[in-house]
Amino acid sequence: MKYINLVHFACFFLICYGEKDRFDNYRVYNIEVNDDAGLGEFQKLEESSSRIVFLNEPNIHQPFQILVPPDQLANITELFERSAVKNEVQHENFQKLIDEEQPHDTAYGGHFGWDRYHDLDVIYAWLDEMLQKYSSVLKNHNYGKSVEGRALRAVKLSKKEGNPTIFIESTIHAREWITAATTTYLLNELLTSTDSEMQHLANNFDWVIVPVTNVDGYTFTHSTNRMWRKNRKAYGKCIGTDLNRNFDYHHAESGASSNPCADTFAGPKAFSEPETLALSKFVKSIRNIKLYISFHAYSQLLLYPFGNTRQNAPNYSHLDGIAKSATEALSRRFGTKYKYGSIANAIYVASGSSIDWAYATQGVKLAYCFEFRDTGKYGFLLPAEQIIPNSLEVIDALKVMIKEAKALKYF
Ligand SMILES: [Zn+2]
């Protein structure tokens, strides 16, 4: 009896305090496919293999990366030979990238800053601090609860009545840590910057900001598996729905999986997940949203509707023109190059995304999805020293986006 108790204690201890999945000697391959046959091979592999992690969706427009455990190297080599796709080893040991993502100084005492990535508790504590400090203009919104009971939180910055609203939705995919870091940086700039253009944006627009949409998944990436993407609701033996395939607009039609084990599982029905259902109700409760922006990583893309079809959106020329100017502005500071286009045309067909839903069902005429740095060198494991450069160039893009939208009378 004593022995069993000890074992239980050990299990409890391990699960609760820091046993993280390791990726020792996992290889990252960079892959380019040029035809539908090659694409089909990798789409099949994505559906069928639970061991190989797709770091982004296979597509024929640009290279994508997969993460291969040592025991799958023979299988993947065989597939490469059979399908004759272009492939190269980008990293020999993925764990090394994970180990190098955060700075290693020991002086860190839990303070908030943009020199490292923070977990949900630290981000929420910082939000509370900001809410207290700027209580006359910044309000808290607890708009729901996650599967595991965590608070879904937004803040709203409003300095005067009647401002048009910009909605920022961030970190709907758990492993995209740079999105939460950039979102908090943006909020901090709106609250504290002395730059006149930034002050203009803070004074003349209401900003509703969700720093972490997928709170359970994000927490899981810090505690257990750095590569987790979905939320944490169980469907049979598999866990998680891709929240950005779960919105109620052409739900699960294409570019989403009906297999609960897949990383792009759309959920059994639209808004089946508390995180998306609560977000949709929250968005509906806010009048006057003129611009909806979803922050993702990685690939360096600025995307707009539609994802479910290659057809152009009604105001395509405006969506495209604004994206062109915004990506030009983004590249000016550090030379970071973004591509732009509709989701379906620039990368792949994907239905049930938040920006399609906001655009097509909520009357938000400008909806964009940023895919931040980089293009695969570090992928999701963007070193923390790039948080501030990424944030600065994204803010450059936002400034131009808003200026052009105003000139086109969207505000
Ligand atoms: Zn994403």
Specify the DSSP element, H or E, that contains 342.
Answer: strand 339-342
Share of the chain above pLDDT 70, in %: 94
Nearest one of 217, 174, 223, 225 to 22, comparing CA atoms: 225
* CA dist list (Å): 139 to 55, 209, 219, 291, 351: 36, 11, 24, 20, 33
Q: Any idea which of 106-110, 151-155, 233-237 has the lowest mean pLDDT?
A: 106-110
Residues 6+ apart with CB under 8 A from 94: 23, 26, 27, 28, 67
Give the distance (Å) from ligand 1 centre to CA of residue 375: 13
pLDDT at 34 over 60: yes
Tell me the CA–centroid distance for residue 312 and ligand 1, in Å. Answer: 22
> What number is the average pLDDT over the span 188-206?
98
Ligand 1 centroid–CA 98 distance in Å is: 19
Domains detected in the chain: 27-100 (3.30.70.340), 120-407 (3.40.630.10)
Give residue 26 CA to ligand 1 midpoint distance, Å.
Answer: 22
pLDDT digits (tens, 9 = 90+) for 40-49: 999 889 888 8
User: 258 C-alpha vs ligand 1 centroid, how far in Å?
Assistant: 18
pLDDT at 89: 96
For 226-268, the DSSP string reads TT--S---EETTEE---GGG-SSSSTTSSSSBS-TTSTTB--S
* Contacts with 292 (C-beta within 8 Å, 6 or more apart), sequence order: 167, 169, 283, 354, 355, 358, 359, 362, 364, 366, 367, 368
Residues 146 and 212: their CA atoms lie apart, in Å, by 11
Q: What is the mean pLDDT of the segment spanning 49-62?
A: 88
- Distance in angstroms between the alpha carbons of the first and the last residue of the chain: 69
- The angle at the Cα of 17, spanning 14 to 23, to the nearest 5 degrees, equals 75
Cβ-proximal residues to 33 (8 Å cutoff; 6+ apart), any chain: 39, 41, 42, 58, 60, 83, 85, 86
Set 41, 273, 371, 404: catalytic member: 371
Helices (H) and strands (E) in the chain, counts: 13, 14
Reduced DSSP (H G I as helix, E B as strand, rest coil) percent helix, strand, coil of the chain, to 5: 40, 20, 40
The string of pLDDT tens digits covering residues 134-165 is 999 999 999 999 999 999 999 999 999 999 99
Å from CA of 320 to ligand 1 middle? 21
pLDDT at residue 315, rounded to an integer:
98
Contact 245, 353 (CB under 8 A): yes
> φ, ψ for residue 185 (rounded to 5)?
-60, -45
* Residue 47 annotated among the catalytic residues of the structure: no
Q: How far is the CA of 380 from the centre of ligand 1 (A)?
A: 10
Distance 160 CA to ligand 1 centre (A): 33
- Mean pLDDT (the chain) is 93
